[in-house]
Amino acid sequence: MSTPSTTAPVARWYDFAVVALIIAPIAIRTPVMFDDAGRAWAATILGVVGAAALLCVRRRPWVTVVVVAATLFAYLAAGFPGGPALLPGPIAAVALGLLAPRTVALCGAVALSVAVVAGQWIGSGLPGTIAIAGPAWAFAFTLGGNLLAQRNERRAAAHERTTMLERQRVTEQRLAIARDLHDSVAHALVTINVQSGVAAALVDRKPAQAAVALDAIRQASAEVLDEMSAILAALREPGEGVNLSPAQRLSDVDSLIDRFRADGLDVAVRIDGDPPAALPAISSASYRVVQEGLSNVVRHGGERVRVSVRIVVAGPRTVTVSVVDDGGRSPRPAALGTGLGLIGMRERVSATGGTLDAGPHDGGFRVVAQWNPD
């Protein structure tokens, strides 16, 4: 018999095949064991009926128990000799242990034992070996089937756990890809948007400055294309464990701020401690906090907004990063964008053991990320 996890149509055909293999030797061998045709037919019919009852073991195991026990009892009580007609007994015990609830399987083993012992006692007396062997094989086969069922259940549970972990891994990878795309593409698009506006305004009056803006657009688009190529390469080989984390770290913050300054953003920066001393994962997350914080200022800040960036590295695992803007001359919009940038920042910081606080502050906006293992 197949395991419970087998799909219904396949299991049904599997059961028919097993029963056919049992009936074949019963129908072929049993009739030639008797000189009397009546007894031969009776023994054959009992064996075939017992085998056919195995088809009910999945949905109606009690029917299998009753019919197989009854045919075994009738066969042995009639004094028929051992032969293939007795095969439904041990096979029913295994099938009950494998497919039926434990209570039904144990009751079935008891019923089969009683049928064998009682039938043998009525048919030809009760030798001591039969009194022991009958219950022994019934319980042994039932136990074997039950152990096989437990093994199959453990395998199914292990497969389910593996599948769940794989789905979780894929989900985490997708989140990492989404964060990387947002961080890199959003920053580049902000730069391109600002510089294209500058170029459009200066192309006629100050072509040299317009050329500088266009060069900034070229550089920003080249950088984002490189990052997107790396991400797409990781997607093409998901099983290779490609690291999607950005390479930029705190040591790259100065060049990042220079690019924002080139876009016209007024940024003051203060760095205390030794940035290379921070752990790579924390350093990378800190860089992204600065990048996303400044990108948000460009997107949502008012005119002539001023930004203060402060980074404190007190140890490999103790880092504080803050990005604070004053809101500029015009009021800051109450709610713009999708909020995915803040979500991505919070996920990055949390994944590396830190906390992130973001919200309005003195007419502007403040983002503070902290890693403090103590």
pLDDT reported for residue 324: 94
Tallying the residues shown for the chain, one arrives at: 374
Q: For 220-259, what is each residue's pLDDT tens digit?
A: 777 666 666 666 665 555 544 444 444 688 999 998 898 8
From 267, 272, 242, 245, select the one nearest 256 (Cα to Cα).
267
Phi-psi region of 100 (alpha: psi -120 to 50; beta: other; left: phi over 0): beta
- SS3 state of residue 246: coil
CA distance 267 to 311: 13
CA distance 55 to 45: 16
What is this structure's pTM?
0.45
From 292, 347, 295, select the one nearest 321 (Cα to Cα).
292
Q: For 77-89, what is each residue's pLDDT tens digit?
A: 888 888 888 888 8
Structural domains of the chain ordered from first start? 8-163 (no CATH), 248-374 (3.30.565.10)
CA distance 82 to 32: 13
CA distance 248 to 283: 8
Residue 167 burial (10 A CB sphere; 0-12, 13-18, 19+): exposed
Above 90 in pLDDT, residue 185? no
Average pLDDT score over residue span 276-300: 87
Under the banding of pLDDT at 50, 70 and 90, the label for residue 105 is: confident
CA distance 330 to 222: 33
Cβ atoms 359, 366 nearer than 8 A? yes
Angle at 146 between CA 140 and CA 147, to 5 degrees: 90
The count of C-alpha atoms lying within 13 angstroms of the C-alpha of 231, restricted to the half-sphere facing its C-beta, is: 21
